[in-house]
Chains A and B, each alone.
Chain A
Amino acid sequence: MLTIDQSTYDEIVAHARRDHPDEACGLVAGREGRPTRVIPMTNAARSPTFYEMDPLEQLRVFRDIDDAGEDLMVIYHSHTATEAYPSRTDITIAGYPDAHYVLVSTRYADEEEFRAFRIVDGVVTEEPVTVVAGRE
């Protein structure tokens, strides 16, 4: 299960909307299973159908998270014309079995699709998302 506060949820959705029609991607750092901050990342692919974090930005941010004593809690990205469900590409590349993979679809301007998954050894398991009021 993914428990996430309203402002973290809103920041992720806003980022996805802002970068539409390109895919947006980013991370959420957390501590003890609760988000501490949203880190919007550059989509180096700048594409409506693909995302890829810049390798040097990724290394720098991962180290920041580590140094702060946080965990890499969520890896999020958007799909801009399809459902918020991991594609075959997403599943093949997924390399972080401990992270929640959040997908947001921006295909409908007036409707939010926000779903969370574990992706481990090619197996996708959807997780319920609980949105709580405040960041602790």
Chain B
Amino acid sequence: MFVTPTARLPHLVKEESQMAVQVRIPTILRRYTGEARIVEGKGDTLGDLFFDLDSRFTGIRGDLVTPAGELHRFVNIYVNDEDVRFLGGLATPIADGDTVTILPAVAGGAR
């Protein structure tokens, strides 16, 4: 049977989106990514992903992870819209096709 390009498109799109983890980068961290809003990365855990990102976007990991190896207190990370603090922090497993969103926390105060 003749397969039109249109008929094949959903299949191609699906394959592309599953090639890697998509990472949404907030404005303040785009200085590391050449202003890219979305980058791709890989890793079995969130911690691995940040090492992978840092290998191409040097310095970005230092804004996400403390020297002691903990997530920075005022950076929110979501895997598929869930707050990783409730999933396992840097040990949160990730897989191809997942979306990781990074948002600076909105916090402060007179204290």
B is bound to A: yes
* Chain A contact residues, CB within 8 Å of chain B: 23, 25, 27, 41, 45, 47, 49-53, 55-56, 58-59, 62, 75, 77, 79-82, 86-87, 89-90, 93-98
How distant is the Cα of A41 from the Cα of B107 in the complex, in angstroms? 11
Cβ-closest chain A residue relative to B107 = A52
A45 / chain B contacts, CB cutoff of 8 Å: 107, 109
Cβ-closest chain A residue relative to B75 = A95
B67 CB within 8 Å of chain A: no
Query: 30 A–B contact pairs at CB < 8 A?
Result: A23-B110, A25-B106, A27-B106, A41-B106, A47-B111, A49-B111, A50-B111, A52-B105, A53-B105, A53-B107, A55-B83, A55-B103, A56-B83, A58-B105, A59-B76, A59-B81, A79-B109, A80-B110, A87-B109, A89-B108, A89-B110, A93-B104, A93-B107, A93-B108, A95-B28, A95-B74, A95-B105, A96-B104, A96-B106, A97-B28
| Known A55-B76, A59-B81, A96-B28; contact A89-B111, beta-carbon cutoff 8 A | yes
How distant is the Cα of A3 from the Cα of B74 in the complex, in angstroms? 29
Are A86 and B101 in contact (CB-based, < 8 A)? Answer: no
A97 / chain B contacts, CB cutoff of 8 Å: 27-28
Cβ-closest chain B residue relative to A87 = B110
B74 / chain A contacts, CB cutoff of 8 Å: 93, 95
Are B106 and A58 in contact (CB-based, < 8 A)? Answer: yes
* New contact pairs (5) apart from A51-B108, A95-B26, CB-CB < 8 Å: A41-B106, A45-B107, A53-B106, A93-B74, A95-B103
Q: Closest CB of chain B to A53's CB: distance in Å?
A: 4
How distant is the Cα of A5 from the Cα of B110 in the complex, in angstroms? 27
5 shortest interchain CB distances as A-B pairs = A95-B104, A90-B108, A50-B109, A49-B111, A52-B107
A55 / chain B contacts, CB cutoff of 8 Å: 76, 78, 83, 85, 103, 105
Q: Closest CB of chain B to A84's CB: distance in Å?
A: 10
Which of A58, A79, A94, A98 has a CB less than 8 Å from the CB of B110?
A: A79
